[in-house]
Structure 1
Amino acid sequence: MFIRLGLIGLLMIAGMTRALAQHPILDDFSVFQHHDQVYLSWVISRGNTCNGITIERSTDGAGFSEIGYIAGICGSPDFAQPFSFIDTNPAKNQINYYRLELGLQGYTEVRSVEFIHAPDDGFILRPNPASYMVQMLFRNPRSQEHVVELYNLSGALVLQHNTLDQQVELDISRVPAGVYLLRLTSTSGQHSSTRRLVIAR
């Protein structure tokens, strides 16, 4: 899906991973997750043009496949021109790599974003078993406050962490090996989910 819209509007969308483009005809090239899609935005600098734009994606940073194409002459001699593209089917819970082929102008630098796709009523826990660090991924598009609690099997609270994010890394290096219950609860009380975590060393 291809859209053209103002760059300022794009930059206001939360969750953006942004980096300055190094291709000589670009002023900017950014990729970011927004809900269940990945948005790509770039700006062709004033006075530069290209003949068609190919959008490519990879899951390993090496083998790229075409996921979109914008036909025609792009760019303008009079003003910088913003473009954007929506990837509606990114690889879930892994890093997605993107690059552009600017017709007759070569490839851009590669940009990447980890696309998080957690279940609506729970969270992803990795690794499990874990030794020193554990990562939780869950849906939190409105940045609501959540409480993460780790309990032993006797019901004693071992760790607690509050977050507004949708990704949490817990340091469990000082927690003894064993079986624990990891609970995620929204402070509004609307959502609560518990999973078993094994700490092994």
Structure 2
Amino acid sequence: GDAVNELALFHWSFINRDYINTVWDAWNAQGCLMDVKKNLGYRIQLNSGTFTTAVKSGSSINISLNLTNTGYASMFNPRLLEFVLINTADGKVCKATTNEEPRKWTAGATINLNYEIGIPANYPNGTYQLHLSLPDPMTNLYEKAAYSVRLANGNTTWDNLKGYNYLGFNLTVNNALTTPDYTGAEWFSMCYGALPVEWLDFHVYQNNNQVQLSWSTAQEVNNDYFEIEKSGDGKSFISIGKINSSTAQTINHYEFNDYVLANGIAYYRIAQYDVDGSPSYSKVVSLHTTTVHSLAVAPNPFKEETILFVDVNDQERVTVIINDLNGKTVLKEEHEITGGSLFIGKKLLPGIYIVHLSSDTFMTYAKIVKTGAE
């Protein structure tokens, strides 16, 4: 009992089987060895679930799951959380990837998942099995059962090939129903028919006090326009701009600038809308942004040292990094700025440098020139 409590208290994830055989044998004799084996690391148990039973295509399904991590620890490798629909007639596999972070499911925690996910308008009538998938996101490990999470109870059927957990529920798609059209952001994939857009890349980066987004597509079939969406938590997105599509059957490049910059992590994705109004989405890209403050340098050029002037609070701790024109860091220091000014330059040889000034709330930079004594 004490050993089991200690393993839980300190969140053990693994034990070297051959380290102390006497301990292992004692656990076996005391009848607790199986509990130790089961609970090392994480152990995700499904408690209950409720689901929408029947919808028309173009509508949505509500999924609510209650799970518990009964293991000693949380996951430490990245995991995706996906819902998978499989048509029982033709075997077509359709997925919805969420922004859930399973590594936050701590030991003993109860996890409540609540999602509303759209069913694209081209899904045919039929019966679809609903599965939960927790795969490794690495391309060479994705959807390999040995690297996916299997739920730790008998309420699911495990797919030994793909690593899906069947939730014991079937969804009926019936286009004779009058369920309301879905207008949200989360959709199952366009697994019937070609995707209207083939995404090649999507990048975001900060340039002074704006974020620049760029993306490319390889083909656009019946694509009407793109909407740029932003989120503060990676789950709830709002539209911040719109760009018309090219529709050319060549590689197309697009750019957009977000001028509303806030300190912290921002999440971006691109929604493409088909001519019939159906959306599909790019991957989600995150960026840690910081407000750029103006930086003045005087004198510049200077002989021995110069003063940096930056619009900060009365006192703030900053990091100063000075690089030469080859990008080599020649100086890195921590300072307390008082009154928005800081003396630098005494330790530098004559030359041209780029000085970077940053803190938890801002970043800025400037070019400085040290001439040395005449």
TM-score normalised to the size of structure 1?
0.50
Distance 1:105 1:166, change over 3 A: farther
| Number of equivalences | 133
Deviations 1:95-151 (A, max 9, x none): 1110111113511111111112143234889xx8xxxxx97489x9x9797844357
Cα distance, 1:67 vs structure 2: 0.4
Tell me the distance in 1 between the aligned counterparts of 2:335 and 2:220.
61
Report the equivalent of 1:98. Answer: 268
**Which structure has the highest helix share of the two?**
2
Tell me the distance in 2 between the aligned counterparts of 1:115 and 1:63.
18
- Residues 75-90 of structure 1 aligned to structure 2 (within 5 Å): 75-77=247-249, 79-90=250-261
Report the equivalent of 1:37. Answer: 210
Q: Which residue of the other structure, out of 113, 116, 119, is the alignment partner of 2:287?
A: 113
**Which structure has the highest strand share of the two?**
1
Q: RMSD over aligned Cα, in angstroms?
A: 4.3
Tell me the distance in 2 between the aligned counterparts of 1:185 and 1:27.
35
CA contact (8 A) 1:146 1:185 kept: no
Larger Rg: 2
Over 2 Å off, 4+ runs: 46-49, 118-125, 134-138, 142-152, 163-169, 184-189
Tell me the distance in 1 between the aligned counterparts of 2:214 and 2:221.
17
Deviations 1:10-68 (A, max 9, x none): xxxxxxxxxxxxx9611111111112111110111135452111111111111211100
Distance 1:118 1:52, change over 3 A: closer
Tell me the distance in 2 between the aligned counterparts of 1:94 and 1:69.
24
CA contact (8 A) 1:42 1:82 kept: yes
What runs of 5+ residues in structure 2 fail to find an aligned partner?
1-194, 295-308, 337-346, 348-352, 360-364
What runs of 5+ residues in structure 1 fail to find an aligned partner?
1-22, 129-133, 153-159, 170-183, 190-201
TM-score normalised to the size of structure 2?
0.29
Q: Which residue of the other structure, out of 210, 220, 240, is the alignment partner of 1:67?
A: 240
Q: Which residue of the other structure, out of 28, 31, 36, is the alignment partner of 2:201?
A: 28
CA contact (8 A) 1:57 1:64 kept: yes
CA contact (8 A) 1:49 1:74 kept: no
Deviations 1:63-95 (A, max 9, x none): 211100124x43312x1111110111122x211
1:46 aligns with 2:219: yes
Tell me the distance in 2 between the aligned counterparts of 1:58 and 1:82.
23
Q: Secondary structure in 2 aligned to 1:45?
A: strand
